[in-house]
Amino acid sequence: MYRSLNRSLYVSFRRYSSAYIREPFRIGYPRGFNQEAIGRIRNDVFPSEKLSPLDYFIKEGNDEQSWADLNLYERSKYVNMVSQGEHKYTSPKPELSSGYNLFRALNKHIRSKKTADVRWSRLSNKGRETYTKDANFIEKAHRELVRQWEGWEIVEYLKNGNFDADAHSKFNPFPYSGLYPWEVITDKLISGRKYQELFEFEADYYDRLIYEAFSGRSRCINDMYRDDTDAKTASGYAKLSASEKLQYEARHLRRLNHLEKNRLTSSPISPFMQFVRQLKKEDSNSLLPYRKLVSKAGELWRELSPEEKAPYKRDINPNSLEYVHGRLQQKVEITMSYIFEVGGVEGVDASYDWKEDMESKERWKRVG
């Protein structure tokens, strides 16, 4: 029966009805949830007090004065309790740093020390002084690095099943982490992965979102339906009202527009795309859909002379850091666009602008 349906709309219906990842997406940002659970998790992972061997001895109902009567072997039991009770972190807590070390910590996309040395040497005197002597900048950077470290430790803690915050917290621990969505996406794209490996994300909620953001129409959700459920799903779709079907059609068009935008921006430094960006900037108030804007840009581009096209050309080596970082930033923005503009986010109203939010929170890092 489902074959009589528009295949893409059918897939969208099945995708939306799946318990695997529902739309709107549940990322817990910018509006958080379950603050009580977040507090308990943080207390487990980062306890304000650490128990001593004597504390464990007293917790067993023993008198503090009796501690002195224990021999080394008897005390070792409580020493081991301390070791077993301590939370084992996956990485050391960031230390307060400045200068070159802080530069490396804040620029994780620079993977090579040799490249980092070159980039450091190219900083202006004012830029190096900011990393080295600006106390406010150094303290803020340290707080941010610690916040990110704590966030990833919470993610690992929940992934290992140490705390059931909700039914899906092992698969989606991020709403409890305090990490910004673009930080999660960036880290996943640069930590131990090549930038072009876009279809090798399978581990958790954001891995799936990244995979979907760069996938084709239905490839991203093939694992969310089986042949024996096709007829049931098709029957369910057929029973929807016209207005309900219209919602799926609108969602499907948003997804198509997103995929088209990905294709058209696959080369972020091409002269034509520089021209498109300029045209979009000049016509920022236009309600013209992106695909039509690009079509219009194509017509105008063909009419330009070689001299008029020259300013849009940028001689950048694809192996250069500028190119690699630009591609990374573009992939982060594509994923953010998919999350907020295609699927939508739970608890977010129409006034929220993720681009403005990301810009305001990342601006302080820019040091020349």
**Per-residue pLDDT tens over the stretch 119-138:** 999 999 999 999 999 999 99
Contact 102, 367 (CB under 8 A): no
Q: Specify whether the CB–CB gap between 10 and 233 falls below 8 A.
A: yes
Give the per-residue pLDDT at 84: 75
Give the model confidence (pLDDT) of 25-81 as tens digits.
999 999 887 899 999 999 889 988 888 888 888 888 899 989 999 999 998 988 888
Contact 183, 177 (CB under 8 A): no
Q: Are residues 117 and 110 in contact, defined by beta-carbon separation less than 8 angstroms?
A: no
C-alpha to C-alpha distance for 7 and 20, rounded to whole angstroms: 20
pTM: 0.75
pLDDT of residue 294: 80
Asked if the bond preceding 24 is cis, omega within 30° of 0, the reply is: yes
* Mean pLDDT of the region 155-177: 89
Q: Which two tokens stand for residue 328?
A: 């990374």
Which tokens in the block code for residue 295? 């079509």
107-116, 172-181, 212-221, 345-354: which range is least confident on average? 212-221
**Burial class of residue 230 in the structure, from the number of CB atoms within 10 Å of its CB (0-12 exposed, 13-18 middle, 19+ buried):** middle
Tens digits of residue pLDDT in 225-280 = 333 445 566 666 677 788 877 877 777 778 778 877 776 666 556 788 778 878 87
User: Please, which residues bridge with residue 345 across strands?
Assistant: 25
Residue 248 burial by CB count (10 A; 0-12/13-18/19+): exposed, middle or buried? buried
User: Which residue ranges make up each domain of the chain?
Assistant: 2-49+92-365, 53-85
Q: Which of 82-96, 187-201, 204-218, 350-364 has the highest mean pLDDT?
A: 350-364
Smallest CA-to-CA distance from 23 within 330, 260, 254, 197 is with 254
pLDDT at position 201 over 50:
no
Residue 148 φ then ψ, to 5°: -65, -40
Torsion angle (degrees, nearest 10) of CA 180, 185, 191, 196: -160
Cα distances (angstroms) measured from residue 368 to each of 106, 121, 129? 13, 11, 10
